[in-house]
Amino acid sequence: MGRKHIVFDCDGTLVDSHSVIFDAIQMLMTEHLEREVSLEEVKQKYSADMPTVAAEFGIDVRDQQTAGKLLKRWQEVSQIGNEEIALYPEITELLEQLKNSDTTTLLWTARDRRSTEYILKRAGIEQYFEKIVCADDTKLPKPFPDGLELLGRDFPKESMILIGDSAADLKGAQSFGIPLVAACWNEWADHKIFAQDGKLLKANTPLQCLDLFKKLNGVLDV
């Protein structure tokens, strides 16, 4: 069957970082909009897709200067509180089972490399990933599939599956031409977007991914 390659998203898939993300969005939007933004407003307008969040706050990220300014500041404020981030239940068990199969595990994240490596090391899972592609490794962020192209340049895309929680993950997988398993164990995932695709595979727990992989025409033997 050949070696298979499972690509994980980080925030909202491997780690539960939403309390940190909410605080960071609150700080970012309060600064950018020059008004007090409450945590309640952040939660009401939140999406796992950050351009959607910006649009909910009335910010046009099609303007490159605005988008660049927001991205730079986001990379700064999103570092705050990273020591509070924890793995979702069953993530280590899933990674361990994949390690013991004919599988390579990879990571594609919208985070910068410094914070990504810090989180993985602190969570004790950095050894499971053969290759990591972060926001500062590509010119274009999610949902553009540049990161998937970097990860998959040494093997056929037919061997790849992406696991993610956001509309950006879904768009990236579709653009690159690989299947997505939706990480529905995250309560803040883009469930409404995922529900629009009746054929999309959805995992309610990390270990359920193993059963879903088998439905992908025998893509993975575990």
- Would you place residue 164 in the very low, low, confident or very high pLDDT band (cuts 50, 70, 90)? very high
Q: H or E segment at 17?
A: none
The answer to whether the CB of 18 falls within 8 A of the CB of 12 is: yes
Contacts of 42 (CB under 8 A, 6+ apart): 22, 25, 26, 29
Summarised one tens digit per residue, pLDDT across range 15-31 is 999 999 999 999 999 99
Summarised one tens digit per residue, pLDDT across range 172-196 is 999 999 999 999 999 999 999 999 9
Query: DSSP character for 6?
Result: E
**Residues above pLDDT 90, as percent of the chain:** 71
Distances 72 to 65, 75, 81 between C-alpha atoms, Å: 11, 5, 18
HSE toward the beta carbon, residue 143, CA cutoff 13 A: 19
Summarised one tens digit per residue, pLDDT across range 47-106 is 877 788 999 999 988 888 888 888 888 878 888 888 889 999 999 999 999 998 889 999
- Would you place residue 140 in the very low, low, confident or very high pLDDT band (cuts 50, 70, 90)? confident
Q: Can you give the pLDDT at residue 29?
A: 96
Query: DSSP character for 49?
Result: S
- Token pair for residue 47? 């999406």
